[in-house]
């Protein structure tokens, strides 16, 4: 009822000039088996999965009523790559821009899209999108610079696929039993949430192929056998056409390319997405890291098996130049240095840190703290001690120096902006410093998700011309869970004046169980905005002297201990004449099993 009213109001308000699309998204569980190996529940929309791509036209307004019919999980949607200019409150992340949508509740996203290109939308609720709640979002541009050349358009999504649901995977990922923070390895690679997809094409025609990597974890090498690609767009930014034989897409990244088919026809054309196995701590024997599709000229002809490629030589995205020729921003007004690392906390689990802080969601969503903290909204303290919050002034050139002090690759994504990539080091280059940097390209790469190499750095710049609350985070969903998140609060005083948060946003917080406070600082303190007493915090640091190796040793000895306990109990059960199914439940078998643990038979017993 309430949301029907909202749709009506939204309709009356926006009917004036822009075209508006109204949609209903009912989010439910459905069962699917996309890799042909294992059927499992996935999150679909309106009973559909794969979720169809959302196609809109630049300049259009979109009103989407999302109803959560999952029954057992909260949800939310984020519109990856859209600037949400003037509508920061529609960006999606719970704890930042809104509250969670609980089961049985709905929420209306309403925003205007003024940028062309290839995007996607996905749940921004903790660890959820790899369960399937994600799809491409294509913004058609009547002025697309390639439109004269293009005969047809093809959308391809890539992803990695797990057979287990994210909830249990996350529980064992951030856990004392996984002190090294080894990420779960996916089972299969997918194209279009499927495998062996075929796309009909015709000889002599040129196709615009839009590609999105919607994976939880895996980057993809992508190539079309025997065909060169001309890259014309990267993350929504038109580029000078650039030839490439292979692309590398991290989770969150997009490209569109032109491919011209030989006028004389020929064989059907295989294309392959191959997961970057360097991301995985171990390579299980049953890993299906390659997935194939075909551009089909002739249905009667065979679908050739792709040839093996010897080395993965993908285009270096640093060589891409925005078509509008935007020069590198200079005269930096504000520099933010983020030193990232992975380490253990006192609970023995592995976490991710910026500047020694792992992100923990505040009590009050950050945007609501902006709206309710008056003049204090300019003071980063009100946003909490564990949110990696930075307050940006409006209309400044902001520089992020990101030092990856970890031996893994990480793709970083900024909400609300695309950034220029001023420098990106090779692997093992160490931290950025005046003495350790590369020269700035005159016209640098611009995109919204960038790969940072192991033990290397990246330098990013953007103009703070979009008041709002914007996350900056690693797009590996595992590292979102382990806290690799920073928050930029951009021009908060301006935001207070210009943002009108629809009342149903606050209602949603009231309908959460328990209700989520929407006033005051990160701790929900209204009287003293500088008092963060009671704010959510991470586990305590490890006691001095403890190391990851120490924890591994400890875990192994505990596991050994448990095995011993299990053996003693098992032996005990063999001895007991009364052991029948059911009987053991009453005579306290499990409690009995606990006693030796308390008595403490060490691994050496």
| Per-residue mark of binding to Cu ion, 226-265 (x: CB under 5 A) | ----------------------------------------
Distance between terminal CA atoms of the chain?
Answer: 66
C-alpha distances in Å from residue 207, one per residue of 152, 229, 234, 299, 422: 5, 10, 16, 19, 31
453: left (phi > 0), else alpha (psi -120 to 50), else beta? beta
User: Is residue 3 within a helix (H) or strand (E), and if so which, with residue range?
Assistant: helix 2-14
Indicate which single residue of 68, 178, 403, 466 sits in contact with ligand NAG (rule: CB under 6 A).
Answer: 466
Q: Could you tell which of Cu ion, ligand NAG, none binds residue 80, using a CB distance below 5 to 8 A set by kind? A: Cu ion
Q: Could you tell which of Cu ion, ligand NAG, none binds residue 67, using a CB distance below 5 to 8 A set by kind? A: ligand NAG
Task: By CB under 6 A, tell whether 155 contacts ligand NAG.
Answer: yes
CA–CA distance, 274 with 189 (Å, rounded to integer) = 7
Task: By CB under 6 A, tell whether 83 contacts ligand NAG.
Answer: yes
Q: Which is nearer to Cu ion, 61 or 80 (CB)?
A: 80
CA–CA distance, 396 with 393 (Å, rounded to integer) = 6
Q: How far is the CB of 233 from Cu ion (least distance, A)?
A: 18
Query: How many Cβ atoms sit within 10 Å of the Cβ of residue 562?
Result: 12
Q: Which of these, 113, 95, 9, 131, lies nearest to 57 by C-alpha position?
A: 113
Residues 480-509 that bind ligand NAG (CB under 6 A): 491, 494
| Per-residue mark of binding to ligand NAG, 254-283 (x: CB under 6 A) | --------------------x---------
| Helix (DSSP H) and strand (DSSP E) numbers for the chain | 9, 30
Q: Which is nearer to ligand NAG, 346 or 566 (CB)?
A: 346
Q: Could you tell which of ligand NAG, Cu ion, none binds residue 140, using a CB distance below 5 to 8 A set by kind? A: none
- Would you state the structure tokens that stand for residue 209, as one six-digit string? 């192929």
Q: Which is nearer to ligand NAG, 367 or 569 (CB)?
A: 367
- Bridge-based pairing of strands 54-57 and 134-140 is parallel
354 with 486: CB under 8 angstroms?
Answer: yes
- Edge-to-edge strands, sheet with 78-80: 54-57, 134-140, 117-122, 78-80
| Region of 152-160, 173-181, 368-376, 384-392 interacting with ligand NAG (CB under 6 A) | 152-160
Q: Which is nearer to ligand NAG, 459 or 569 (CB)?
A: 459
| Residue 404 C-alpha from the chain's centroid | 18
- Would you state the structure tokens that stand for residue 586, as one six-digit string? 């009453």
Q: How far is the CB of 494 from ligand NAG (least distance, A)?
A: 4
Q: Which is nearer to Cu ion, 413 or 447 (CB)?
A: 413
CA–CA distance, 163 with 185 (Å, rounded to integer) = 10
Task: By CB under 6 A, tell whether 290 contacts ligand NAG.
Answer: yes
Task: By CB under 6 A, tell whether 196 contacts ligand NAG.
Answer: yes
Q: Which is nearer to ligand NAG, 52 or 430 (CB)?
A: 52
Q: How far is the CB of 524 from ligand NAG (least distance, A)?
A: 27
Q: Taking CB positions, which residue lies at the least distance from ligand NAG?
A: 394
424 with 452: CB under 8 angstroms?
Answer: yes
Q: Which residues pair with 31 in a beta bridge?
A: 41
C-alpha distances in Å from residue 293, one per residue of 10, 190, 290, 357: 42, 10, 10, 43
161 with 35: CB under 8 angstroms?
Answer: yes
Indicate which single residue of 13, 167, 301, 549 sits in contact with ligand NAG (rule: CB under 6 A).
Answer: 167
Q: Which of these, 178, 186, 171, 262, lies nearest to 217 by C-alpha position?
A: 186
258 with 207: CB under 8 angstroms?
Answer: yes
Indicate which single residue of 17, 286, 300, 356 sits in contact with ligand NAG (rule: CB under 6 A).
Answer: 356
Q: Which is nearer to Cu ion, 474 or 489 (CB)?
A: 474
Q: Which residues pair with 237 in a beta bridge?
A: 234
Task: By CB under 6 A, tell whether 394 contacts ligand NAG.
Answer: yes
Indicate which single residue of 118, 146, 178, 289 sits in contact with ligand NAG (rule: CB under 6 A).
Answer: 289
Residues 397-416 that bind Cu ion (CB under 5 A): 413
- Edge-to-edge strands, sheet with 237-244: 188-191, 152-161, 206-213, 254-260, 229-234, 237-244
Indicate which single residue of 141, 149, 465, 504 sits in contact with ligand NAG (rule: CB under 6 A).
Answer: 465
Task: By CB under 6 A, tell whether 67 contacts ligand NAG.
Answer: yes
Q: Could you tell which of ligand NAG, Cu ion, none binds residue 396, using a CB distance below 5 to 8 A set by kind? A: none
| Region of 139-147, 150-158, 374-382, 453-461 interacting with ligand NAG (CB under 6 A) | 150-158
Q: Which is nearer to ligand NAG, 496 or 560 (CB)?
A: 496
Q: Which of these, 126, 118, 23, 21, lies nearest to 74 by C-alpha position?
A: 126
Question: Which residue reads 């948060």 in tokens?
Answer: 501
Indicate which single residue of 27, 97, 113, 135 sits in contact with ligand NAG (rule: CB under 6 A).
Answer: 135
Task: By CB under 6 A, tell whether 53 contacts ligand NAG.
Answer: yes
C-alpha distances in Å from residue 272, one per residue of 279, 358, 468, 472, 493: 18, 37, 39, 31, 49
Residues 544-603 that bind ligand NAG (CB under 6 A): none
Q: Which is nearer to ligand NAG, 276 or 317 (CB)?
A: 276
Residues 59-88 that bind Cu ion (CB under 5 A): 80
Residues at the contact surface with ligand NAG, assessed by CB under 6 A: 24, 26, 29, 35-36, 41, 46, 50, 52-53, 67, 72, 83, 85, 135-136, 155-157, 165, 167, 192, 195-197, 199, 274, 289-290, 308-309, 339, 355-356, 394-395, 417, 465-466, 491, 494
Q: Which residues bind Cu ion (CB under 5 A)?
A: 80, 413
């Amino acid at each position: 009822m309430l949301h029907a009213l909202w749709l009506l109001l939204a309709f009356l308000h926006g009917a004036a000039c822009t075209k508006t699309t109204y949609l209903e998204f009912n989010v439910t569980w459905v069962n699917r088996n996309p890799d042909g190996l294992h059927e499992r529940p996935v999150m679909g929309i309106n009973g559909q999965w794969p979720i169809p791509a959302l196609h809109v036209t630049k300049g259009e307004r979109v009103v989407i009523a999302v109803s959560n019919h999952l029954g057992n999980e909260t949800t939310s949607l984020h519109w990856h790559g859209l600037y949400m200019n003037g509508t920061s409150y529609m960006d999606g992340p719970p704890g930042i821009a809104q509250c969670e949508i609980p089961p049985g509740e709905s929420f209306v996203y309403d925003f205007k899209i003024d940028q062309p290109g290839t995007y996607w939308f996905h749940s921004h609720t903790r660890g959820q999108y790899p369960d399937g709640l994600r799809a491409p979002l294509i913004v058609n541009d009547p002025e697309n610079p390639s439109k004269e050349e293009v005969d047809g358009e093809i959308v391809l999504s890539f992803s990695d696929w797990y057979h287990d649901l994210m909830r249990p995977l996350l529980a064992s990922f951030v856990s004392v039993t996984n002190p090294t923070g080894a990420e779960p390895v996916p089972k299969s690679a997918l194209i279009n949430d499927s495998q062996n997809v075929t796309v009909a094409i015709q000889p002599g025609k040129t196709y615009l192929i839009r590609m999105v990597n919607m994976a939880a974890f895996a980057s993809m090498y992508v190539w079309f056998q025997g065909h060169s690609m001309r890259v014309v767009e990267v993350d929504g930014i038109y580029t000078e056409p650039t030839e490439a034989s292979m692309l590398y897409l991290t989770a969150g990244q997009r490209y569109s390319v032109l491919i011209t088919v030989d006028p004389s026809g020929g064989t059907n054309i295989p294309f392959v997405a191959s997961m970057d196995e360097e991301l995985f701590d171990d390579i299980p024997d049953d890993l299906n890291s390659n997935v194939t599709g075909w551009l089909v000229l002739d249905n009667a002809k065979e679908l050739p098996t792709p040839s093996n490629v010897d080395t993965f030589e993908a285009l270096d995205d640093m060589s891409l130049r925005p078509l509008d020729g935007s020069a590198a921003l200079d005269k930096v007004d504000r520099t933010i240095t983020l030193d990232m690392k992975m380490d253990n906390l006192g609970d023995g689990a592995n976490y991710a840190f910026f500047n020694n802080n792992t992100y923990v969601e505040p009590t009050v969503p950050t945007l609501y703290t902006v709206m309710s903290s008056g003049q204090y909204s300019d003071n980063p303290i009100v946003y909490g001690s564990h949110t990696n919050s930075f307050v940006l002034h409006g209309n400044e050139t902001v520089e992020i120096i990101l030092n990856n002090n970890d031996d893994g690759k990480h793709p970083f994504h900024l909400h609300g902006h695309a950034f220029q990539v001023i420098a990106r080091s090779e692997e093992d280059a160490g931290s950025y410093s005046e003495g350790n940097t590369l020269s700035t390209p005159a016209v640098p790469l611009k995109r919204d998700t960038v790969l940072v190499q192991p033990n290397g750095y990246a330098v990013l710049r953007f103009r703070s011309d979009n008041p709002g609350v914007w996350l900056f985070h690693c797009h590996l969903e595992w590292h979102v869970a382990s806290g690799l998140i920073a928050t930029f609060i951009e021009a908060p005083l301006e935001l207070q004046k210009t943002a009108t948060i629809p009342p149903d946003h606050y209602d949603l917080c009231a309908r959460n169980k328990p209700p989520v406070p929407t006033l005051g600082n990160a701790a929900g303190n209204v009287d003293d905005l500088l008092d963060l007493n009671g704010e959510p915090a991470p586990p305590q640091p490890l006691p001095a002297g403890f190391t990851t190796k120490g924890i591994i040793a400890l875990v192994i000895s505990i596991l050994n201990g448990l095995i011993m306990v299990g053996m003693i109990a098992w032996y005990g059960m063999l001895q007991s004449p009364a052991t029948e199914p059911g009987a053991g439940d009453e005579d306290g078998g499990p409690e009995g099993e606990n006693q030796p643990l308390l008595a403490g038979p060490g691994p050496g017993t």
